Amino acid sequence: MRLNINDRTVEVLLSEETLRQRVAELGAQLSVDYAGKDLVMLVVLKGSMLFAADLCRHITAPLSMEFMGLSSYGDSTETSGEVQVTLDLTKPVKHRDVLIVEDIVDTGLTMRYLLKNLAAREPASLKVCTLLEKPERKRVEVPLDYVGFVIPDHFVIGYGLDLDQKFRNLPFIGRVV
């Protein structure tokens, strides 16, 4: 389906219902995997905020939330390859079970940086839950423990993902055509 939004044609790739169903499935699996653990859901800002908000409501295990801001894109649609921390954790994660919640992993460069950064903080465990994976763009291998969807190499918007800081509020994931 194609829609005209703010003078742009957007093709819907993942509908609101498809997202809702998969997020519920991920939350159910995480509830089992983290039962009885000291879970810290580490939300990577800004793109993961909607995914994380919906996901945490489906996790029955007790959890706390931390946030990190990372940037490797700036206002571009291509990664610069250099990762900048724009917001760091407010609490230590030493000896805690950390689940990174990310919107999308494509080249793997940002995730590799984040995994190294967090491993140095000595968590009890460190896993990754990403809503989207783009294997065609992968430059480095990184472990992805939970993947919502594998998508083709399209620049996507909606459900937290942006183009020039816009379109994050779309309830679906689409691509500008």
Catalytic residues: 106
Of 109, 113, 105, residue with least CA distance to 132:
105
CA angle 131, 135, 136 (to 5 degrees): 135
Contact predicate 146/129, CB 8 Å: yes
Residue type at position 173 = I
| 3 three-state secondary structure | strand
Contact predicate 28/19, CB 8 Å: no
Residue type at position 1 = M
